Amino acid sequence: MMTRRRLVVDDLKQRIAAGELRAGERLPSMVALCERYGVSDITVRAALKELESLGFVEARRRSG
């Protein structure tokens, strides 16, 4: 059974690979991601942290 975090990570990786989310662009807001996946902000934060550690996204503090 896949965790909700894993589903978010896998979908975002797929969207990045497909070019739907491009390098240098901002990801959708935390609220939008929570609504899209039907998960809590804690789950989305964990998924984004994992994607950052894998090199798929780059966190830019204080950029909104």
Residue 46 DSSP one-character state: H
pTM of the model: 0.87
Q: Are 37 and 29 in contact (CB under 8 A)?
A: no
pLDDT digits (tens, 9 = 90+) for 2-54: 899 999 999 999 999 999 998 888 899 999 999 999 999 999 999 999 999 99
What secondary structure, in 3-state letters, does 9-38 show?
HHHHHHHHHCCCCCCCCCCCCHHHHHHHHC
